[in-house]
Amino acid sequence: MKKSIFTALFAATAFCGFSQEKEAEASKFTFSGYIDSYYMLNFNSPTSRSNLGVSGYERAFDQKSSQFSLGLVQTKFGYSTKSSDVVVDLTFGPNADLGQYGNVIGPLGAGKATTALAIKQAYFNWKASDKLTITAGQFGTHIGYEVIDAPTNYNYSLSNLFNNGPFYHIGAKANYAFSDKFSAMVGLVNNVDNLNDNNAAKGFIYQVFTSPVAGWNLYINGITSNEAAPLPSGKDDSGSYNLLDLTTSYQITPKYLLGLNAAYGSQTGDYQGGGSVGNSKTWGGVALYSNYAFTDKFSLGGRYEVFDNTSGARALRNADGGGTNVSSFTLTATFTAAEGHLLIKPELRSDAYKTAQFTDGDGKAQKSQTTLGLHFIYKF
What is the share, in percent, of the chain residues with pLDDT greater than 70?
88
Conformation bin of residue 45: beta by default, left when phi > 0, alpha when psi is -120 to 50: left
**298 has pLDDT over 50:** yes
- Report the first-to-last Cα separation within the chain, whole angstroms: 56
Asked if residue 295 has pLDDT above 80, the reply is yes
Q: What is the pLDDT of residues 320-365, one digit of tens each?
A: 999 999 999 999 999 999 999 999 999 999 999 999 999 999 999 9
pLDDT at position 197 is 87
Q: Give domain 27-379's CATH superfamily.
A: Porin (2.40.160.10)
What number is the average pLDDT over the span 50-65?
Answer: 95
Mean of the per-residue pLDDT values of the chain: 90
Please tell me which residue, 233 or 347, carries the higher pLDDT value: 347
CA–CA separation, 213 vs 291, rounded Å?
A: 20
> CA–CA separation, 100 vs 89, rounded Å?
12
Please, which pLDDT band fits residue 237 given cuts at 50, 70 and 90? Answer: low
At 5, is the pLDDT very low, low, confident or very high (cuts 50, 70, 90)?
A: very low
From 178-182, 199-203, 269-273, 287-291, the region with the lowest mean pLDDT:
269-273
* Predicted local confidence at residue 7, as pLDDT: 44
Which pTM value belongs to this model? 0.87
Predicted confidence at residue 198, as pLDDT, reads 81
Q: Is the pLDDT of residue 275 over 50?
A: no
- How far apart CA 192 and CA 329 sit, in angstroms, is 28
User: Alpha-carbon distance 306 to 330, whole Å?
Assistant: 12
pLDDT band at 15 (very low <50, low <70, confident <90, very high): very low
Contact assessment for residue 344 and residue 335, using Cβ atoms and an 8 Å cutoff: yes
Mean pLDDT of 182-196: 93
Of 20-24, 86-90, 251-255, 266-270, the least confident: 20-24
**pLDDT surpasses 90 at 64:** yes
3-state secondary structure the chain: CHHHHHHHHHHHHHHHHHHHHHHHHHCEEEEEEEEEEEEEEECCCCCCCECCCCCCCCCCCCCECCCEEEEEEEEEEEEECCCEEEEEEEEECHHHHHHCHHHCCECCECCCCCHHHHEEEEEEEEECCCCEEEEEEEEECCCCCCCCCCCCCCCCCCCHHHHCCCCEEEEEEEEEEEECCEEEEEEEECCCCCCCCCCCCCEEEEEEEECCCCCEEEEEEEEEEECCCECCCCCECCCEEEEEEEEEEEECCCCEEEEEEEEEEEECCECCECCCCCCCEEEEEEEEEEEEEEECCEEEEEEEEEEEECCCCCCCECCCCCEEEEEEEEEEEEEEECCCCEEEEEEEEEEEECCCCEECCCCCEECEEEEEEEEEEEEC
Q: How large a percentage of the chain has pLDDT more than 90?
A: 79
pLDDT of residue 24: 52
Domain locations in the chain as residue ranges: 27-379
Residue of 131, 143, 225 lying closest to 182 (CA atoms): 131
The stretch 258-264 carries a mean pLDDT of 98
